[in-house]
Amino acid sequence: MQQYQWAERQVLVTGATGIVGSWLCEELVRRGAFVVAMVRDDDPQSRFYTDGIAPRCTIMRGDLVHFEHCMRALNDYEIEVVFHLGAQTIVGAALRDPLDCFESNIRGTYNLLESARRLNGLVQSVVVASSDKAYGDSDILPYTEDMPLRGRHPYDVSKSCTDLLSDTYAHTYGMNVTVARCGNIYGAGDLNWSRIVPGTIRSLLLGQRPVLRSGGGNIRDYIYVRDVVSAYIALAEQSHRPEVKGQAFNFSPETQFTVLDIVAAIARVMQVQADPVILNNAKAEILNQTLDAAKARQVLPWTAAWRLEDGLRETVEWYRAHLSTGAALVSH
């Protein structure tokens, strides 16, 4: 297969200030791409700013819910490759305000896809970041890509719809749209403290007991952010292939852990004791979720490169360095 050239390629990343967005922008810039970061809200604590990634990108202020913003981003900057990461990603926030979740995740997606369709001679590929939540609850695990999308809770439904919209634009209009479904993504730069990895690390740095919203037994896939970036880039590079175009792929290390397993692993890395407070009051959460990544291994081929404790060790070091002043330890 011919080597894909990122040098001087015009790339749009939505959701650039999020955990994956910052790492993706950094890697694309390293490969020589011209990166346009579409940003709705500034967060000075975001890794996109604190780690010096922003000055190496062109920042466009815009909101995916406005079609004209999507068109301007693609047309004015002559975008060739789109990584669509921008979304409401917090399950609790989606539960409290489902309309905002639907507007951001569903309207935002079809606005971007329709903009890309109208500029189809310009835009060559679109990679859509999805989630294992798109599958909804299932008695059959692990999820495989041929299983139906049955989200029921607001966030889950928004991801099911996102995937169906992506499928529509790929198969009706022949666009090079691909979908990436990941489990729980962890790594440096995640400032959503309600998530188990950053929340536990912050609590332990403060000498506090981690607080678990679940009962601690929920099983999930945990995938390191660097592996996610490599997965997204693999999709973009191969989206023109018949066996990749219009397809969804699961990305997972195919190792599953309970929430309590993750807390214990973080404590081991930090060399402290963890005695979590178990609230068991989480709502609209799927009990167990695991992903089968055989398709990604066989077709792309892609495999996860990072073991859990190696990824956690690098993650902890970032938080230890960046949160040492205490200012960013305060919840948003």
Q: Is the pLDDT of residue 299 over 80?
A: yes
Q: Are 287 and 218 in contact (CB under 8 A)?
A: yes
pLDDT at residue 83 tops 70? yes
Structure confidence at residue 91 (pLDDT): 86
The pLDDT assigned to 213 comes to 86
Rounded mean pLDDT of 45-55?
A: 96
Residue 69 in this model has a pLDDT that exceeds 70:
yes
Q: Quick one: average pLDDT of 307-317? A: 98
pLDDT in tens, 16-29: 999 999 999 999 99
Q: Is 165 left (phi over 0), alpha (psi -120 to 50) or beta?
A: alpha
The answer to whether residue 135 is catalytic is no
Topology classification of domain 186-220+254-329: UDP-galactose 4-epimerase; domain 1 (3.90.25)
Pick the CATH number of 10-184+222-251 from 3.20.20.140, 3.90.420.10, 3.40.50.720, 3.40.50.2300: 3.40.50.720
pLDDT in tens, 105-154: 999 999 999 999 999 899 999 999 999 999 999 999 999 999 999 999 99
| pLDDT tens for each residue of 170-181 | 999 999 999 999
Q: What is the pLDDT of residue 325?
A: 54
Closest CA to 177 of 238, 224, 223: 238
Q: In whole numbers, what is the pLDDT of the chain averaged over residues?
A: 94
**Bridge partners, residue 179, by sequence:** 128, 248
Alpha-carbon distance of 199 to 190, in angstroms, equals 9
Whether the predicted pLDDT of 57 surpasses 70: yes
Closest listed residue to residue 196, CA positions, set 104, 282, 314, 102 = 282
Cis? peptide before 142, omega within 30° of 0: yes
Say yes or no to pLDDT of 329 above 80: no
Name the residue ranges covered by the structural domains of the chain.
Answer: 10-184+222-251, 186-220+254-329
Residue 326, pLDDT > 70, answer no
The amino acid at residue 12 is: L
pLDDT value at residue 2: 66
Strand-strand pairing, 125-131 and 184-186: unpaired
Q: Which of 77, 135, 155, 222 is catalytic?
A: 155
pLDDT at 92: 85
Q: Mind listing the pLDDT tens digit for each residue in 186-233?
A: 999 999 998 999 999 999 999 999 999 888 999 999 999 999 999 999
